[in-house]
Chain A
């Protein structure tokens, strides 16, 4: 079905189950996007996975995002993308939270695939997933003491001495 109809269908089912005002629907290009609050995410994903008509049983990806110029409550974001193979439907769920409260419930009981995806979100942005079996850094070195993808940290290696900024126009 076309995207806006799909989005409205999912939104109606969510409102029926969880109540009014719990999720906001937006259409980005060809994806229905649902913006929900942090406390609802686990139950929402559980519902989306196990409901017979929705049946989004495949977690395509999840990742974090950092918006330093946004409102403090919306500074850090998490995005989950789900897929239903039978009807070929996709949906995206977004959650926003402030820097002071980056705790989140882990999705590993629903999909074991979320294990490494959450480790990556922890490694790069600093989200703490409760209930995760093995939350440690995945791509960076274990003794790194900052979360690199946050916008305040520079891209380049701080100890490089042969690349003068003035020659590179920085």
Chain B
């Protein structure tokens, strides 16, 4: 029985097609190359090549003073740059054993959560665009513009923010920033719900995403997944809750964890 299976597999392998999902591809969002061995539409094997955007951050950081490294950390994950800035500031604060005032910590939490929302706006709209539903992208990006306006009130820049200083923030939030924040908070949940209704229970979207590229818990542990991907695989771990930094322990929040069993 074993021999017959491997013979079948060998015969099937001759029919596999090789596809180069090259470095420039609209759906890869960032550049890496995949050489895929495909059986019809199912990917059997993939060989990835990365490094097309290697910018040598670590080597540049060896030659820059502390506050110039913040601008480098912006560009690590440019969809949510304030979080990277805060991570660098907290590292240096740990090294110099600095104590941050409580108000600055709470303001940092506000900025980091806004950045998280902005990043998830990109991820959600872009998966809809890649599967064909572009409307949600146009609706939700207006809210990303609102978040950019709040960043501009706080630090002056839209995308690569360089927010904060080692030891706190550069200035308190202005009254205009609070006003914009309140406006965002009052209008965003409704817009997100509208996007949800458009996309999540859509027949076509469900057909294209359910059952595609599933990762089990064990695989996520072995391959060192982290963050939302790990939670989607079913492991309930969030650094904000387990190792709270910047006064996250004073806040109550829910953490979504994927439930599907593989």
* Interface stretch (choices B56-64, B120-128, B147-155, B203-211): B56-64
Report B-chain residues with C-beta under 8 Å of the C-beta of A149.
58-59
* Interface stretch (choices B176-184, B193-201, B218-226): B218-226
B56→A88 contact, CB < 8 A: no
Report B-chain residues with C-beta under 8 Å of the C-beta of A85.
235, 237
* Interface stretch (choices A14-22, A38-46, A57-65): A57-65
Q: Number of A interface residues at 8 Å Cβ cutoff, please give it.
A: 19
Task: Give the contacts of B227-245 with A (CB-CB under 8 A).
Answer: 235, 237, 242-243
Chain A CB within 10 Å, residue with most, of B50, B222, B242? B222
Cβ contacts A51-80/B at 8 Å (1 or 0 each): 000000111110000000000000000000
CB distance from B230 to the nearest CB of A (A): 9
Q: Does A10 contact B (CB under 8 A)?
A: no
Q: Does B65 contact A (CB under 8 A)?
A: no
Q: Does A169 contact B (CB under 8 A)?
A: no
B224→A58 contact, CB < 8 A: yes
Q: How far is the CA of A137 from the CA of B51 in the complex (A)?
A: 9
Q: How far is the CA of A121 from the CA of B56 in the complex (A)?
A: 14
Report B-chain residues with C-beta under 8 Å of the C-beta of A148.
56, 59
Cβ contacts A118-138/B at 8 Å (1 or 0 each): 000000000000000000011
Q: How far is the CA of A117 from the CA of B50 in the complex (A)?
A: 13
B51→A140 contact, CB < 8 A: yes
A58→B54 contact, CB < 8 A: no
Report A-chain residues with C-beta under 8 Å of the C-beta of B63.
155
Q: How far is the CA of A112 from the CA of B219 in the complex (A)?
A: 9
Q: How far is the CA of A111 from the CA of B226 in the complex (A)?
A: 15
Q: Does A102 contact B (CB under 8 A)?
A: no
CB distance from A111 to the nearest CB of B (A): 6
A138→B50 contact, CB < 8 A: yes
A155→B62 contact, CB < 8 A: yes
Report A-chain residues with C-beta under 8 Å of the C-beta of B222.
111-113
Cβ contacts A148-159/B at 8 Å (1 or 0 each): 110000010000
Q: How far is the CA of A29 from the CA of B242 in the complex (A)?
A: 18
B224→A139 contact, CB < 8 A: no
A155→B59 contact, CB < 8 A: yes
In the complex, which residue of chain A has the Cβ closest to the Cβ of B60?
A155
CB distance from B97 to the nearest CB of A (A): 9
Known: A29-B94, A85-B237. A111 touches B224 (CB 8 A): yes
A139→B221 contact, CB < 8 A: no
CB distance from A64 to the nearest CB of B (A): 11
Q: A111-B222, A137-B51, A148-B59 given. 5 additional CB < 8 A pairs?
A: A113-B222, A113-B224, A138-B51, A140-B51, A155-B56
Residues of B whose CB lies within 8 Å of any CB of A are: 50-51, 54, 56, 58-60, 62-63, 94-95, 221-224, 226, 235, 237, 242-243
Residues of A whose CB lies within 8 Å of any CB of B are: 29, 57-61, 85, 88, 111-113, 137-141, 148-149, 155
